[in-house]
Structure 1
């Protein structure tokens, strides 16, 4: 079995005695960018994970935080968008400047993803409780046309990049269906895929490697990989063995990996192409990941006690 080894680890206390959601990204200088938010909406913050110093904090409170994403702007800056019970809130991720003029407050957004518009500009995608997939300009916050309509409640959304500026918007609903739209014209791509009889709670795009795949997580925390073009399932269902609270994907030395963490505070990893498990020693309730410049990966996990641990991983050289 392949094994991941920790090359460098930093840990600090978030200030809360419960789980916060870590969010990893890359700043304009190429260095890692770490933010966090509490599910109760009490705080959004940016951290220096080497020192544990809070670089900025917004603590005026929101109506709960369901998800968050970084949006890279063409001016070199990075925005932070957070999904709430009321809609979307925005910040400058680097400075912590709150952007109330970009606020969208019309309905509960459960999940967020970042894609690209036909001209290459970023687009923010939101899975809404009213059954729509909403689209906003990632730089101005302006709504982009009517929402893409599925069925029932939309719980999860992702964006799969294809050649050029083409892509596929993928979403999962509370009836276990997966929907697909062409990102260039908003037209549906075939019939909805039947993922499971339960809700599709998470969807993530896997690193392509010539094969446009997604992975979905249902209410029972089973993971299924799909070819987003053909709509066909790929490989066997992965039974995680726990209630998954965090699902992340990254690439390690050219290998796409799938990472999950949940109720039993065990971080699990699989080869996204084969579905085979990869050995890792790690604990946490939620997880987020980003590619590292050296071919490894950075993982941020949070424990049930509010500890945030950021680790740089690579494959064990003797067990690759």
Structure 2
């Protein structure tokens, strides 16, 4: 009898949270592994009941017959990119290849491990399979012949996880000796590691899209980030769950990280900042996780024999680029006007870049417009006496705020710079009709601006100017105000 993994200990349910879209019922034991078929219409699962099953996402029903052949628990499945075959590993020490069309075993079982095969993975080119075993060994197999083709790599404890890099040149392993390692799998030599930082067994890891970093997690309930070239830890680990983290998954665009734990939760994280985005609660321990190809759905396999399907929050539908900034929101433009003339954003900006965007100008009241100097917004926001408030922590994000700062007639209601997301909210007096006296004063100020511009070009210094127009949010643009107050603000160029 081969070794089985330790029995998970269930934590109490903390909160109900969002409800799953569907639950798939049919397994008679733990669901150790879930994965989406590349077409996105089905889910494949592996269970402690010895079966591999496929599920129709639309109907929630099992599709086709169960794949039966493993003599004991099935711990891992990995699909080929063609979506027609999958590889599995189990407690019976074997690796098997299956045809999803015929629902039959392809060839004979691959034998060579002396203990449970807990994880399998297929190389990006679909030619090789890596298997990780409780016998401390990692083996590489030729997918077509089923023969072991490269020397075995050895860790100092049970190997829980194995994954090819996205370029196919390297292999990462996670093991019970608390270490993460990176291998040249063709040579069987250790490239990086053992990486030290985890306090207990390491259960799972993901490569970032460029293969330059690794994110790992395990029994110490922490998520660690590593430089895959040097093995150095990047930043401080994040205590992500209250209990063991069994599995990680990364969305196909690399923006969202998912983790599942014996605290009965699945959590979504910003993959760049490890900021918590969402939490999904289960009735039992969550053991496995996978994103759909379009990143709209999340599947989790559970201790209660069920598979859960969840909607991935679209924070998403508001965000149009890969950058996590509220400035990535599309600009809101009055009907019939050209977005490009309203400062609509197409690229990510820092706060400093945004503040240095040319200030907006009001349209002419009477007659043709005359050329006018466009002030830079940065100068307008410098307060007469700068007040720095103590930093405070709000929702895990440290903010430094300045409230009700006045510079001339422009009023900065709230300005905040956050570690995870940078944003600025500016409001001014709304549009109103100017009096003849104000029109005359404004004409004089525009003349002064032109003179100042001329002096500046000749090398003369210039003090920050105050806002001279309360008829619009003079100096604000769609880049900064559409997020919070676009319904109330009109901006002109």
For the pair shown, which has the larger CA radius of gyration, 1 or 2? 2
Deviation by residue 1:23-62 (Cα, 9 ceiling, x = unmatched)? 22334xx333312222242x22222232233212134552
8 Å CA contact retained: 1:22, 1:34: no
Cα distance in 2 between the residues matched to 1:185 and 1:199: 26
8 Å CA contact retained: 1:70, 1:93: no
Residue in structure 2 matching 1:187, options 182, 186, 189:
189
Deviation by residue 1:50-86 (Cα, 9 ceiling, x = unmatched)? 223321213455222222221335xx73223233342
Secondary structure at the counterpart of residue 214 of structure 1: strand
User: Which structure shows the bigger proportion of residues in helix conformation?
Assistant: 2
Deviation by residue 1:100-124 (Cα, 9 ceiling, x = unmatched)? 51432532222222224xxx44321
Q: Which residue number in structure 1 is paired with residue 95 of structure 2? A: 88
Q: Establish whether residue 32 from structure 1 lines up as the match of residue 41 from structure 2.
A: yes
Q: Which residue number in structure 2 is paired with residue 45 of structure 1? A: 53
Q: Structure 1 residues 139, 235: closer, same or farther in 2, change over 3 A?
A: farther
Cα distance in 2 between the residues matched to 1:217 and 1:141: 31
Residue in structure 1 matching 2:30, options 3, 16, 19:
19
Q: Establish whether residue 142 from structure 1 lines up as the match of residue 142 from structure 2.
A: no
Residue in structure 2 matching 1:198, options 190, 194, 200:
200
Deviation by residue 1:278-299 (Cα, 9 ceiling, x = unmatched)? 1244536234223433xx3321
Q: Which residue number in structure 1 is paired with residue 291 of structure 2? A: 290
Q: Which residue number in structure 2 is paired with residue 66 of structure 1? A: 75
Deviation at 1:255, TM superposition (A): 4.4
Q: Which runs of 5 or more residues in structure 1 are unaligned? A: none
Q: 5 Å matches for 1:70-219?
A: 70-72=79-81, 77-108=84-115, 109-116=117-124, 120-162=125-167, 166-202=168-204, 204-208=205-209, 210=210, 212-219=212-219
Deviation at 1:135, TM superposition (A): 0.6
Superposition TM-score, scaled by structure 2 size:
0.54
- CA-based RMSD of the aligned residues comes to 3.0
8 Å CA contact retained: 2:89, 2:118: no
Number of aligned positions between the proteins: 299
Q: Structure 1 residues 146, 60: closer, same or farther in 2, change over 3 A?
A: closer
Secondary structure at the counterpart of residue 104 of structure 1: coil
User: Which structure shows the bigger proportion of residues in strand conformation?
Assistant: 1
Higher relative contact order (CA 8 A, sep 6+): 1
Q: Structure 1 residues 221, 64: closer, same or farther in 2, change over 3 A?
A: same
Cα distance in 2 between the residues matched to 1:106 and 1:290: 30
Deviation at 1:128, TM superposition (A): 2.1
Superposition TM-score, scaled by structure 1 size:
0.80
Cα distance in 1 between the residues matched to 2:193 and 2:129: 24
8 Å CA contact retained: 1:124, 1:135: yes
Q: Structure 1 residues 222, 280: closer, same or farther in 2, change over 3 A?
A: closer
Q: Structure 1 residues 196, 21: closer, same or farther in 2, change over 3 A?
A: closer
Q: Which runs of 5 or more residues in structure 2 are unaligned? A: 1-16, 320-325, 327-493
